């Protein structure tokens, strides 16, 4: 492995509802590295919620903001980076994130995603792409079907989250991360 342990980023990708943010915050606390969430950066830069950006300017505009944000942080080192679920739609994003990062895909079953995303959440509080869904399971499945191969091909490591607490998932990632460097 060429990347240095103390400078490499841990990058989390995966569908909305896979727990990237909560797992990322946990890892950042345990490893004492800064946490960055690309959606939060977009909110900071624009002063608008992700929902407003989608509503006012559409998805293509959001994707460009997402790409610009990733370009801006691609030179960062020693961070825990949580990304938006659609980051894999543009291969250039993954190339930039891989420059200084190891990419972990948090995989989840449709049932888990549904439970985390929609089951008890008011329509208004849902993610923009699922907000007006009439059949959440069907729409989550469609998104997942379109992205599954992209997640897999973008990942250095895949960690399944079904039935696990965020601490368990975080600890699995930390132990993979440690094992990468155990003999270097
Ligand atoms: C999106 C996921 C969201 C956010 C935006 C688009 C997607 O992030 O970037 O609503 O395309 O799946 P989370 O994965 O954090 O929900």
Nearest ligand 1 atom to the CA of 42 is: 9
How confident is the model at residue 15, as a pLDDT?
96
Taking Cα atoms as reference points, which of 98, 89, 81 lies closest to residue 64? Answer: 89
Q: Cα-flanking dihedrals φ and ψ of residue 106, to 5°?
A: -85, 100
* Cα Rg of the chain, angstroms: 16
Measured in angstroms, how far is the CA atom of residue 164 from the centroid of ligand 1?
21
Is residue 85 lining ligand 1, measured as CB closer than 6 Å? Answer: yes
* pLDDT, tens digit, 9 for 90 and up, residues 119-163: 656 666 778 888 878 888 999 999 999 999 999 999 999 999 999
Is residue 50 lining ligand 1, measured as CB closer than 6 Å? Answer: yes
CA distance 83 to 31: 19
Is residue 19 lining ligand 1, measured as CB closer than 6 Å? Answer: no
CA distance 12 to 84: 9
Is residue 116 lining ligand 1, measured as CB closer than 6 Å? Answer: no
Q: Give the predicted TM-score (pTM) of the model.
A: 0.95
CA distance 73 to 46: 16
Is residue 14 lining ligand 1, measured as CB closer than 6 Å? Answer: no
Residue among 118, 129, 161 to mutate when testing ligand 1 (max atoms within 8 A of CB): 129
Nearest ligand 1 atom to the CA of 128 is: 10
Structural domains of the chain, ranges and CATH numbers in brackets: 5-180 (3.40.50.300)
Is residue 89 lining ligand 1, measured as CB closer than 6 Å? Answer: no
Averaged confidence pLDDT in the chain? 93
Look at residue 1 and tell me whether its pLDDT is greater than 90: no
Q: What is the DSSP string of 53-113?
A: HHHHH-HHHHHHHHHHHHHHHTT--SEEEE--TTGGGSHHHHHHHHHSEEEEEEE--HHHH
State the DSSP H helix or E strand holding residue 146, giving kind and residue range, or none if neither.
helix 136-154
How confident is the model at residue 174, as a pLDDT?
98
* pLDDT, tens digit, 9 for 90 and up, residues 93-129: 999 999 999 999 999 999 999 999 876 566 667 788 8
Output the CA torsion 5→29→71→152 (10° steps).
70
Measured in angstroms, how far is the CA atom of residue 130 from the centroid of ligand 1?
10
Tokens of 99: 């420059």
* pLDDT, tens digit, 9 for 90 and up, residues 44-76: 999 999 999 999 999 999 999 999 999 999 999
Cβ 85 vs Cβ 39: under 8 Å: no
Look at residue 169 and tell me whether its pLDDT is greater than 70: yes
How confident is the model at residue 119, as a pLDDT?
64
How confident is the model at residue 124, as a pLDDT?
65
């Amino acid at each position: 492995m060429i990347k240095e342990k103390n400078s490499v980023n841990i990058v989390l990708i995966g569908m909305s509802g896979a727990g990237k943010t909560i797992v990322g915050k946990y890892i950042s606390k345990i490893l004492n590295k800064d946490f960055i969430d690309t959606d939060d950066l977009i909110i900071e830069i624009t002063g608008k919620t992700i929902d407003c950006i989608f509503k006012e300017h559409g998805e293509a505009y959001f994707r460009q903001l997402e790409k610009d944000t990733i370009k801006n942080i691609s030179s960062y080192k020693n961070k825990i980076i949580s990304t938006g679920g659609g980051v894999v739609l543009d291969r250039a994003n993954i190339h930039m994130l891989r420059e200084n990062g190891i990419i972990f895909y948090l995989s989840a079953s449709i049932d888990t995603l549904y439970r985390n995303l929609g089951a008890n959440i008011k329509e208004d509080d849902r993610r923009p792409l699922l907000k007006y869904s009439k059949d959440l399971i069907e729409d989550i499945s469609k998104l997942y079907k379109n992205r599954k191969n992209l997640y897999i091909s973008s990942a250095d490591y895949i960690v399944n989250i079904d039935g696990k607490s965020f601490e368990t998932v975080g600890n699995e990632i930390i132990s993979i991360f440690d094992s990468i460097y155990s003999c270097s």
